[in-house]
Structure formats: structure tokens, C-alpha cells
Structure 1
Amino acid sequence: MNERPAEDTRTRILRTALELFGGRGYERTSVREIAERVGLTKTAVLYHFSTKADILVALATPIIADLEAALDVGTAPGDPRTRWSVIEGLLETYLTHRDVLHMVMQDMRVLTQEPVFHRFVDMMTLANHLVAGPSAGLADQVRAAQAIAMLSDPVILLARTPTGPLRLAVLDGVRRLYAVAPETAPETVPGAPPESVPEAPSEAAVPEAPPEPAPETPPDTTPKAADQAAPGRRAGRPGAMTPEMIGAARRMHASGAHTMAEIAAAVGVSRATLYRHLPV
């Protein structure tokens, strides 16, 4: 039987090393253990990677390259579109490389390996510059650093959460950091600054859903007077949802065929109200 191509052997070594590094840690895993798990001799593994550190660098390089690509946005630093493009690109890379990201957080030694370390530092510096802008003050610089830092932790800590809901929840958190309510953020620029969109309604202006009525009592779908007069809300949009409205919205959301804007329009409420009743 012919031996497998060198590329395939290299891939098997990296896949096995990732499993062992992620589960046991870099220091506790030896090249011999990797070789035995793959079905090779230690010498055969060292033919492809001169040292264990080289295996670590090979595992980390793809995610670093993808993170760098996510920062190649071609638009002005600090622009809302630039900010959101960078945030979405970084998050998508973290979601794509979940296993490697988990390994990195398990053993920060990954970031000390050359040339990974300098590439990572340069990348994070550029990311903060793009999100904050060239003339950002301290508050904007801190907010940019927080927005970037908050992308990776949920991906690591909620490793078993499906990608779709996790992505939505993380991006919603960034929107909230920049004080942009989901119902007022432009569809094409979810990260737009507060001054470019209408003021978000307060919690008092968006009451909680009323308790579900008894089965024999038909639900009252008439908007409350307080809802009609509440400041900051668009006319004709109730702030509360009936059980029937909630059920319809959740079915549309579960189908995956509708945007939040479409669901909100279909049930006749704002997206801020809708977000409080969907299982994100």
C-alpha cells in the first residue's frame, strides 16, 4: 500500500497536536505522544516539524492570517462601517477557529512564539486603531479595546453554543456597548454611533409583556394608552407583545428565513421589543 502524501501526514499531525494541546496543554504533551497517536515514529513527526514549538506555530498561523485579513477593510479608521466590518470579521474568524482559540487561551505560550507574537501585537494595535479612529480620545480608545476584547471570551466560554445564536448575541453586546438600540441601528451600519441615529427608547418606554391570560379569556391585543403615548416610540407600535405575537415571532425566528426587521414588521412591534422575547 502506498504511503499517504506528505501534506496529508502533516495535516494529521496538526489535527492530533491540536487535540492534545487543547485537552492536556502544550507542556504536558510530548512529540512522542503525538507520533504514537498519529501512528508514526517520533523521527517521522520531526521530519515535518523540527520542534514541538514549530507545531504550535503552524497551528496558530492560520488564525493569525485570517485575523489580519479581517483588518484589511479598505475604509477610513473610526468610520462606523469600518468599525463594524472589523468587529464582524474578527468575530467570524474566532468562530471559524474555535478549537485553536481555545488552545491559545489554555496555553498563552502560543503567543510567545516567533513570528506569531509580533504579528498578533501588530494586529491588535491595528484593530484598535481602526475601531477607535485616528483622533479618538481616551474614552473612545477604551471602548474600542473593550469591543474587540469582548469578541473572543464568549466563543471560548460558550464552546457548545451553536454558531448562529452565539454570533447574534455577541454582536448585540457590541451594539449595546456603543449604545445603539437594535431597533434604531441602520441595517447596513449596525455599529453606527449614537449621534447618527434616533435616541434609543428607555426601559420605561418599553414595558414588559403582560402576564399570559387564562385559557378561557381571549388575549387583549389593544395597545395600552401608556404604550401609545410613550415618548421615543414610533406611532402605532405597541411596546408589549401578546402570547400569540410572541409565538408567531419565535416561529419566524426559528425558521431562519427572516431578518429581525422583517419579523418586527410582521408582528407590528419595534426590534427593541422583539429582542426581549426571542431566545437568543
Structure 2
Amino acid sequence: MGTPQARRGNTRQRIQDVALELFSEHGYDKTSLREIAEHLDVTKAALYYHFKTKEDIVISLFHDLGRPIDELIEWGGTQPRTLETKQEILRRYSESLRSAEPLFRFLQENQAAVRDLSIGETFKERVLTLFELLKEPESELSDQVRCITALFSMHAGTFAMRNVEGDPEEKRKAILEVATELVTAANPPSRRPARPDSAQTESP
């Protein structure tokens, strides 16, 4: 099915996983609740007990699989704005994308439908918040482009590289390496904030 093994278990998760598989294969608009119920071998009434609409299923998936990203954003907001912090944000984001890959595949392959769902705006807000954590305030436009491109390269690269031969983990590392290079280039030493200990050393 392509979903993380840890998610397999209760009925609610089974519904989410099967629905996400069908949404990705056939498209969100072309998949009905009846089809989801048939693949699960349950009645529509049993399905309605957990979810009343397809959008309810997507929203629940977005909250469940997107929780690590929310936790990352919360963590990043409490850390010093150093290059090391930004590199760690990218590393953790890469891990979050891997665990939520089925959801991001759905977002990538159903962009038109997502725009009409409430999760579309929430996803956009998450990306923009991560962008703010990666870029420096008042940074040059070219450096802002590098930071947002780093994020988009992690999104698009995950799917584009599926058709490229190679070990999945090695491909993930290569995507992360490129994203890290972009953010590092956007934060050259001359424009990085001074460390507190550096400032103390330079004080008379």
C-alpha cells in the first residue's frame, strides 16, 4: 500500500490508508466513499461511523501525518537563528516528509482538488512558516529564493526521484544535501548573526 507499517492497525487508520491509496491512484474527485468501503469490505454505514465525507478523511490524515511538521515548527521557533539550527530543521523536515510520504504524494497529484479543500491553506501556511525559519530577516531576494527553493526541492524531489534508479535512502540524502547547500548559501558567514559567546569574547 505504500503507507508506513506503524499506521496499520485500527479501523480508522485502515480507512485513512485505503482512501489515501485510492486518492493517489485514481484521483480525489474520481474516488467515492462507496469505493473506499468496498476496498475495505465494510458497509457505507460502518465507514460513516468514522468519516462522513471524503474531506473528513483527508483532514484527519493531514492532522495525523502532519503532526511531526507542526512539532518541528514549534521547536524551530524556540531555537537560535543559527545556520546549525536551519540545517537541523531541514534534516528533521526530511524525516517528516518520509513518514508522511503518502500524504505528500496525494497533495502533489491532486493539487487542483487540494486548492478547494480547507487543508490547502493550512499546508501553505506551514511551508511559509518553515520558510521564515530558514531565511534571515531583511535577507536579499536571491537568498529568499534559495530558502524557498530548498523546501520545494524537498517536496518535488521526493516524487521526481522515484523514477530514478538508486537506493531510496541515498536519494533522500541527496535531496537533503541539495536543500542544505541552498540554505547554507543563503546564510553566508558575513550575514549570520553573531553567536553570544563570540560577542562576549570581542567585548573589552
Measured against the shorter chain, the TM-score band is: 0.7 to 0.9
One-letter amino acid of the structure 2 residue matched with residue 75 of structure 1: Q
Alignment match, 2:114: 110
| Cα offset, 1:21, TM superposition | 0.7
Is 2:137 the partner of 1:134? yes
Alignment match, 1:56: 58
One-letter amino acid of the structure 2 residue matched with residue 36 of structure 1: E
CA contact (8 A) 1:132 1:141 kept: yes
Higher relative contact order (CA 8 A, sep 6+): 2
| Cα offset, 1:158, TM superposition | 2.3
Alignment match, 2:170: 165
Distance across 2 between alignment mates of 1:124 and 1:192:
19
List 4+ stretches of structure 1 deviating above 4 A: none
Aligned mate of 1:76, from 60, 75, 80: 80
With over 3 angstroms needed to count, the CA separation of the structure-2 counterparts of 1:194 and 1:144, relative to structure 1, is same
Distance across 1 between alignment mates of 2:38 and 2:10:
16
CA contact (8 A) 2:23 2:31 kept: yes
Is 2:96 the partner of 1:101? no
Task: Report the structure, 1 or 2, having the larger helix content.
Answer: 2
Secondary structure class of the residue paired with 1:158? helix
Distance across 1 between alignment mates of 2:114 and 2:53:
14
CA contact (8 A) 1:95 1:163 kept: no
Cα deviation, 1:42-69, whole Å, max 9, x if unaligned, reads: 1211121011111121222223322222
Structure 1 length normalisation: TM-score? 0.57
Cα deviation, 1:157-186, whole Å, max 9, x if unaligned, reads: 223754420222112212443576xxxxxx
Distance across 2 between alignment mates of 1:148 and 1:49:
32
Structure 2 length normalisation: TM-score? 0.77
CA contact (8 A) 1:16 1:37 kept: yes
Cα deviation, 1:41-100, whole Å, max 9, x if unaligned, reads: 1121112101111112122222332222222222134x2022112211221111122222
Distance across 1 between alignment mates of 2:48 and 2:24:
20
CA contact (8 A) 1:82 1:130 kept: no
With over 3 angstroms needed to count, the CA separation of the structure-2 counterparts of 1:135 and 1:82, relative to structure 1, is farther
With over 3 angstroms needed to count, the CA separation of the structure-2 counterparts of 1:175 and 1:54, relative to structure 1, is closer
With over 3 angstroms needed to count, the CA separation of the structure-2 counterparts of 1:178 and 1:66, relative to structure 1, is closer
| Cα offset, 1:11, TM superposition | 1.6
- Structure number with greater Rg is 1
One-letter amino acid of the structure 1 residue matched with residue 96 of structure 2: T
Distance across 1 between alignment mates of 2:167 and 2:99:
12
Secondary structure class of the residue paired with 1:27? coil
The count of residues paired between Structure 1 and Structure 2 equals 178
- How well do the aligned residues superpose, as a CA RMSD in angstroms? 2.4
Listed as ranges, the gaps of 5+ residues in structure 2 are: 1-8, 192-204
Alignment match, 1:23: 25
One-letter amino acid of the structure 2 residue matched with residue 193 of structure 1: P
| Cα offset, 1:32, TM superposition | 0.4
Instruction: Give the fraction of aligned pairs with identical amino acids, expressed as a percent.
Output: 26
CA contact (8 A) 2:28 2:110 kept: yes
| Cα offset, 1:126, TM superposition | 1.4
Is 2:93 the partner of 1:90? yes
Secondary structure class of the residue paired with 1:45? helix
